[in-house]
Structure 1
Amino acid sequence: MDLIIAAILLAGVLAFAVIRPRGLPEAVAAVPAAVIAVAAGLVPLSDAWAELRELGPTVGFLAAVLVVAHLADEHGVFRYAGRITAGLSRGRPVRLLGAVFVAAALTTAVLSLDATVVLLTPVVLVTAARTGVRSRPPAYASAHLANSASLLLPVSNLTNLLAFAASGLTFLGFAGVMALPWVAVILAEYVAFRWFFRDDLRVRTEPRTNGEDGPAPRYALVVLGLTLAGFAVAQPLGVHPAWVAVAGAIALAVPLRSSPLTLIREANPAFCAFVLALGVVVAAVRVHGLGSLIDHLVPDGEGLGEMLAMAGLAAVLANLLNNLPATLVLLPGVESSPGLLLAMLIGVNVGPNLTYVGSLATLLWRQILHNEDAAPDARVFLRLGLLTVPTALAAGVLALWLALLMI
């Protein structure tokens, strides 16, 4: 009965997050569900508090990097990226797709997948219109790379931060192991996109407007570069990356004279509360039976076959539960096995490209395209996912296996 109640609470939270009635934040459902889980004894108060303390630094980083991404946008970093992308494309659809792949992959790696979805996607749509290129291929690329290109750095995705904390790797060590899988997944995605959108990539449309020129936002680019370097330097010294992100946010905010209330709003406290509450609800589900089932499904050993099976299991769970709950459920069963841990990460980051509900970033991308009068087609998204997810998973896990052999 406890498992049934916990599962109902989790299902209700996830359904609310997907539907978001009247645009209400996800925390409206998640926080009461967490309170009910504790009040009903599904999770002891001490365990709930321990879960919050464990997730706290990670959520703090999430809030800080959201502010950094917002301030980078205010400095014109994404508009500048759009100008560079348009210039590299020279009005050719294939060149634009390649340029968007590079821009989205770098944005996701450095500023996290939220920056790619929220800030780069509108720029991609405008750039496609200005260069006379169909927007479908680059628009879908921004969604896919927000998920799959988030493998490189611990700071690229909330799932990465959770796995990084359990991996025992240094910041540079994590990046070194995941660099080859990151490249392999992006190349697999690119080849699949070239084939899937082959008709769109042959068509030119009439450019709507000319691109806008302007100086490069050098100060912001330097601050972002120093912030990224700070992540690598601070971690071995025992400094959490959240503090580095806060320092970067302050450096970006000072020239803009940003309002403290604006910065608090951009940190998205409601979403941070959702993540914390979700952790408590997932703990209730795991402790009352789901954890034992998952632990039985986790493969034994760290060979290529076991790693492929682990990535596949993680991808399936990401599309059933959403990738963040899937990570929280799987993590205790794989944290003692580095190969399976990182294979799980490939599964929860690449797997969400199969369905809208696989990640909150994809849901947000769909909402942004609706707002831009460029609504995506669910059937196209699914067909594209059926092509890209299996190939990208296989390429990423094979590359991870090779990277671990070289260590």
Structure 2
Amino acid sequence: MSTALADAVALGTLAVLLAAATLHLPWRREAAVAVGATVVVLATGLIGSNQLEDTIRALLPVVIFLVTILVVSDVCARAGLFAAAARLVGTASRGRPTRLLTGVFLLAALVTTVLSLDATVVLLTPIVVGAAATLGTSDRPGAFACLRMANSASLLLPVSNLTNLLALPYLDLDFVGFAARMAPVLLVVLVVEYVGLRLLFRRELAGEPDHPGRVEGPPLPVFPVVVVGLMLAGFAVVSRWDIAPAWVSSAAAVVLVVWAAARGLVGPRDIARAAHPSFALLVLALGVVVAAVATGFLGDLVAQLVPVGTSFLALLALAALATALAALLTNLS
């Protein structure tokens, strides 16, 4: 196969994978697309068996973390953790839109930081929307706050975003060092985001609730909160010995699943759905395909565009290039 044709096939395969991720296909189709994409890329010769093995070895701990943290988040949701947190925020707001936005903003930032952005988008946002409806206020400010925090608040910890986990081995930082380095950045981003939301929804925040009600919810489940807290501490401890966070999240997932199963909160099918293994395959396939694309003309082009040096302008140009690649080709690029 010619180089040009191989590049075209790899880019086409990447487009198919991105479409599959966007369309949220049934799990069988999603898994089939992931496996098929990997086979097609291998056939182009852009990536060999050794590079395939290296790519999977690098991605596997991150994917295992993704699977297990999804299970942790799902069990927390079934135990009522998010509903209880939304109840506390709703009660503290007393039906005032601005106070509700502030509470949701902080809650979404916390959930994203500890349980990753997926938990904020999939599990917290619907509860926030329901709480706003109960209080008789617009659900748009809270929903947008969750959306923005699912992205912006994932800066602080390596486990808040899969991209952070992928980058961590190259940064010569442990868990605590990464958090310390990113804390000032996160603080600035949170201030900008909050001010932006206040301005964007200033009219809705100035209104009064139509029929303020009381946000109902379960009491805060103590056991899941303790497990999540210990998990977070575990991430910091094991990073000193270069142990992958996946080991800690796996242990937390097992403990929570056993606890929840004993109370009839989850069954085997619930756990399988929460883990979303077909999506894990899709992430692995994306990594393989992006690695193949990087060996072709696009990789050469990006290498030429990468600025030399560590000056402010060079770093700014590098950030702009990374932003464009992440937006167009996924954050794995």
Could you state the TM-score of these two structures normalised by the residue count of structure 2?
Answer: 0.92
Indicate the residue corresponding to 1:56 in structure 2. Answer: 60
The answer as to 2:242 corresponding to 1:238 is yes
Deviations 1:20-72 (A, max 9, x none): 46787644423211111112322112211211111111111111111110111
- State the distance in 2 between where 1:22 and 1:68 align: 22
Deviations 1:185-212 (A, max 9, x none): 1111111111111112122342375322
Indicate the residue corresponding to 1:277 in structure 2. Answer: 285
The alpha-carbon deviation at position 180 of structure 1 amounts to 0.8
Query: Among residues 311, 314, 321, which one is paired with 1:313 in the alignment?
Result: 321
- State the distance in 2 between where 1:22 and 1:249 align: 24
Indicate the residue corresponding to 1:175 in structure 2. Answer: 179
- 1:184-333 alignment, distance < 5 Å: 184-207=188-211, 209-257=213-261, 258-322=266-330, 324=331, 328-329=332-333
The alpha-carbon deviation at position 282 of structure 1 amounts to 0.7
Indicate the residue corresponding to 1:101 in structure 2. Answer: 105
Indicate the residue corresponding to 2:76 in structure 1. Answer: 72
The alpha-carbon deviation at position 219 of structure 1 amounts to 1.5
- State the distance in 2 between where 1:262 and 1:182 align: 34
- State the distance in 2 between where 1:221 and 1:190 align: 26
Indicate the residue corresponding to 2:159 in structure 1. Answer: 155
- State the distance in 2 between where 1:248 and 1:16 align: 30
Indicate the residue corresponding to 2:134 in structure 1. Answer: 130
Percent identity between the two aligned chains: 46
The answer as to 2:47 corresponding to 1:39 is no
CA contact (8 A) 2:80 2:218 kept: no
Paired letter, 1:294: V
Paired letter, 1:140: F
Between 35-44 and 272-281, report the one with greater CA deviation.
35-44
- State the distance in 2 between where 1:29 and 1:224 align: 34
Indicate the residue corresponding to 1:351 in structure 2. Answer: none
- 1:74–1:24 Cα change, 3 Å: same
- 1:313-392 alignment, distance < 5 Å: 313-322=321-330, 324=331, 328-329=332-333
Q: CA RMSD in A?
A: 1.8
Between 170-179 and 198-207, report the one with greater CA deviation.
198-207
- State the distance in 2 between where 1:21 and 1:60 align: 21
Between 258-267 and 137-146, report the one with greater CA deviation.
258-267
Paired letter, 2:243: V
- 1:33–1:10 Cα change, 3 Å: same
Indicate the residue corresponding to 2:87 in structure 1. Answer: 83
Gaps of 5+ in 1: 330-407
Deviations 1:154-201 (A, max 9, x none): 100111111112212101000110111111111111111111111121
- 1:315–1:26 Cα change, 3 Å: farther
Secondary structure in structure 1 of the residue aligned to 2:202:
coil
- 1:259–1:23 Cα change, 3 Å: closer
* Larger Rg belongs to: 2
Deviations 1:132-159 (A, max 9, x none): 2111111011111101110000100111
Secondary structure in structure 2 of the residue aligned to 1:133:
coil
- State the distance in 2 between where 1:299 and 1:308 align: 9
Indicate the residue corresponding to 1:146 in structure 2. Answer: 150
CA contact (8 A) 1:27 1:277 kept: no
The alpha-carbon deviation at position 213 of structure 1 amounts to 5.0
- 1:102–1:25 Cα change, 3 Å: farther
Paired letter, 1:110: V
- 1:243–1:15 Cα change, 3 Å: same
Could you state the TM-score of these two structures normalised by the residue count of structure 1?
Answer: 0.76
CA contact (8 A) 1:134 1:203 kept: no
CA contact (8 A) 2:7 2:297 kept: yes
Which structure has more relative contact order (CA 8 Å, sep 6+)? It is 2
Indicate the residue corresponding to 1:7 in structure 2. Answer: 11
- State the distance in 2 between where 1:18 and 1:261 align: 24
- State the distance in 1 between where 2:194 and 2:71 align: 30
- State the distance in 2 between where 1:196 and 1:25 align: 39
- State the distance in 2 between where 1:20 and 1:72 align: 23
- State the distance in 1 between where 2:90 and 2:57 align: 45
- State the distance in 1 between where 2:222 and 2:23 align: 40
- 1:30–1:205 Cα change, 3 Å: same
